[in-house]
């Protein structure tokens, strides 16, 4: 699957890693793998609103509500016109 290979092909690209992390953590329940990918994505580019929203979704699934809200709030601050992040925060 291309999503799995994206971080291997471009290890310093935030998008591929945050997408894979979201899929791993939220859909496949690979909490550790998803979290590792998303945290690496945020280290690569902490200004990515999508990565913060995805990280917030994973934290929410892990029951870490306060941290999830903080991540979602950061996503909204980074991209206030993004309805997906605003909806996720709501």
User: H helices of 1-89, where?
Assistant: 2-9, 14-22, 31-44, 49-61, 65-78, 83-89
How many CA atoms are closer than 13 Å to the CA of 64, on its beta-carbon side? 13
pLDDT at 9: 53
Question: 13-89, what's its fold?
Answer: 1.25.40
Q: Would you list the domain boundaries of the chain? A: 13-89
Q: Do 68 and 57 contact (CB within 8 A), yes or no?
A: yes
Gyration radius (Cα) of the chain, Å: 12
Length of the chain: 90
Q: List, for residues 23-74, the tens digit of each pLDDT value.
A: 999 899 999 999 999 999 999 999 999 999 999 999 999 999 999 999 999 9
pTM of the model: 0.88
What average pLDDT score do residues 8-36 get?
Answer: 86
d(CA 55, CA 74): 11
């Amino acid at each position: 699957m291309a999503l799995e290979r994206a971080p291997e092909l471009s290890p310093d690209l935030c998008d591929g890693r945050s997408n894979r992390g979201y899929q791993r953590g939220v859909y496949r329940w690979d909490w550790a793998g998803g979290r590792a990918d998303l945290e690496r994505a945020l280290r690569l580019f902490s200004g990515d609103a999508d990565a913060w929203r995805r990280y917030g979704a994973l934290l929410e699934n892990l029951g870490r509500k306060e941290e999830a809200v903080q991540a979602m709030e950061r996503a909204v601050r980074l991209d206030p016109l993004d309805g997906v992040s605003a909806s996720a925060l709501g």
